[in-house]
Structure 1
């Protein structure tokens, strides 16, 4: 391996190419005046993290392959980047040439960064804070399918939608089945993320099939009743009144 400098291999720029966001798309790198792509098997999450940092797009969430954002044109570059994940620019990563090269644009690498915007909705439930989870991406609403869907994941969806906390994470057969294509699977959230795209996940492209996905029931906007507010105020006043003699009286 050898270390890259800004001038090595005559790097000029890199970009993620898609129709919807500068922070997600097909990975393209410019050498000299020519743009080219990289092979999907050579781009891991550590490399993707550096690419997202390089582009000021947050952290990497997914590195889909098989030309997920469409096939590029021009050369498929032969270098393999070996990033640790803490570099600020891709050119600071070690790089080695691919000895055996058989990659084509059918295998163009892509990267999705956390700043890429995913619109969420819950449908076929009792309210906007209850229902089957769908994500709007690449011009269409897509379904989420996950056998390990749990309350940590539900918390993130509810938080992103402004619907409070997650109360239940369930199989979406409760909200009816959907024939929409599955786009996302294997979501693993810690529960403290602000957006679903910040969680670990995998892309899953499929033709429209009638199988169940996942759903969420959120707490909704919290409302404090007049009675509970009144009692809380009375308790506070009584506590202050008897504080001097060390007595707290229940109301």
Structure 2
């Protein structure tokens, strides 16, 4: 077969296998997908019915992707045309089910032992498909959609996470573009989404932002210095998150959606109980209590939704962004949900614990363990603070009672006495004055419990 034209200035640089006239398309990477071959000056799908394991191995080796890991094609194809159902009208029967297509025929597991020729192929069948051993892929998990979540890479047939050391928007741009999710809105550190499991494939990723695949970026292998509490996360522009503003709490107010980097209002021209039900459930606010009348749009962007009511989020409904026809004569949608919402992210301050609004709407599975942990921490700190205050008050009162000063009596004839009950284990007589001579005046009554002495005045 003819080789691809690589002399044109407009043609892009071909990868190793493409220079030999073969490539994989519509897969997670250049090492998986549908097989296309260069035949008669154009790329065309290879016939699946005439594909075998030797061809899969040869293609993967030609692409520099190791050996073949997976192939769904027959392993022993017939290189001859299949017989027709009857001898009388064979050509018509063949024309009904077969069409000429390029077929890859290999005598061994090396591409140099393969050749491409036009053969009759089942016109109703799909093209040949291959997944190589060194296939790589990227996905975002743990968010409320495919365009937000924890970054995971597939390497050596195993999914693993990426460490957030030096993780920034340039790295996130590569992931979002690779997933057809637009551009990166946020590059998030660990624990914003639920931590992953398994290996950590990359650390210290340093993309320029122009790479086609995340694994093309410079970086270090995950060597044990990074744990899953540092799993990197991404929010792409095509991800949608929602909030309610202007109400008594976060479960009431104007419906706003964060999409393509900005907050926009939602048109109420199609805002009924089905759409409101999906939103209240996605925000963790229960069911719909009431749909108030809409107010004029206060934000430049406008989103239109049409739901059945069973969708997990509004992004799973039919939606259009900035469609003037669908949003004509509309106001900004509003809703009142039935329950109080507890936000997914948090901040801890002295004397109080609260959960401020997160820019990313997360599923219940993502935020519940973390929220519970913080709630327990807040309660524990509150109990400790209360116990400390009670202990300090008790000690203060005890010390005050122990070291209280006695009441002083200002009299030229009275001496200071020891207060009763403090370091006193016997009755102490109270002596006022004692002199020789007749008694002039009695100044104190004698108590039955304590002996007392009368005052005597000297004679003359």
TM-score (norm: length of structure 2):
0.29
Which has a greater percent of strand?
1
Computing the radius of gyration over CA atoms, which structure comes out larger, 1 or 2?
Answer: 2
Higher relative contact order (CA 8 A, sep 6+): 1
